Structure 1
């Protein structure tokens, strides 16, 4: 009978053990909610992402159509950047994905116009204007826009930067 009665120390010990398990469960729940939130914010495709919407709206058995064209390399460009002292250079290698063989032929036909346009565009850039990833993506878009102005009818699908050195 003496062993059946709990001493005050043993009662506190059981309450402390129960409190520890409650804290562990609450922490695990908080980590789970934090992990879910982190996934939704950083890894899950955003709803305004057009590729994700097309995949969600399309048939599950049918892959999404991607326009693929011909890859055409352009000559390497070496220009002075528009920095105040003019001591920085940009060496840029570019390949262009065009829609069809007609656009590829137009690239060779208008090669002088393309070189002139891209040299003027690249030489107007500064080191600070090309330093971030966003700036490089914008440069690719500007190159595609300028090429589409020359070629017309959206002949250029994508621009790939294959080499970029700023010194």
Structure 2
């Protein structure tokens, strides 16, 4: 009889512990999932539509204008022959983002107006790379995450590089690798 009472006590305490452990485990799972969701929305979620609309409404120059030594081809001219291409080494820079640390890894190919320009770029490579690194590191995720932002970045790179060139100009920029992390 005494043994039966002890067995019953053990069973009742086990039954009481089981629902309590289940509740604690369930609360722990909910807490972890909530923390993961909050972390995603704070650090990884894309900017709001308002920020994208703000970037899209920036005044963009017409496709046939020449600004600050920047040549932007007219519609339909991309189908023609292209000039010599000068590939630059990979650029890895920090983006200026208030939401956290983001990196931009980009590889650039520059279409040149003449073959002789490649030699001039080789001589001025430190200045050219410095201009591009300075420009890239001044951008935020919102600036370079949209197609319009990438096109604007190409225009700015062309303008920055052409300021250093005397024997020709960079006609177009091609992003052969573009990774934001």
With the shorter chain as reference, the TM-score category is 0.5 to 0.7
Tell me which of 141, 162, 165 is aligned to 2:176.
162
Task: Give the TM-score normalised by structure 1.
Answer: 0.59
Q: CA RMSD in A?
A: 2.5
User: Contact between 1:97 and 1:159, CA under 8 Å: does it hold in 2?
Assistant: yes
Is 1:104 equivalent to 2:104 in the alignment? no
User: Contact between 1:90 and 1:165, CA under 8 Å: does it hold in 2?
Assistant: yes
In structure 2, list runs of 5 or more residues that go unmatched. 1-63, 65-72
Distance change in 2, residues 1:145/1:67 (3 Å): farther
How far residue 131 of structure 1 moved from its aligned partner, in angstroms, is 1.4
In structure 1, list runs of 5 or more residues that go unmatched. 1-47, 55-63
User: Contact between 1:77 and 1:92, CA under 8 Å: does it hold in 2?
Assistant: yes
How far residue 84 of structure 1 moved from its aligned partner, in angstroms, is 2.2
Rounded Cα–Cα distance in structure 1 between residues aligned with 2:100 and 2:136 = 13
Q: Which residue of 2 aligns with 1:87?
A: 101
User: Contact between 2:93 and 2:103, CA under 8 Å: does it hold in 1?
Assistant: yes
Rounded Cα–Cα distance in structure 1 between residues aligned with 2:144 and 2:75 = 27
Aligned length: 110
Task: Give the TM-score normalised by structure 2.
Answer: 0.55
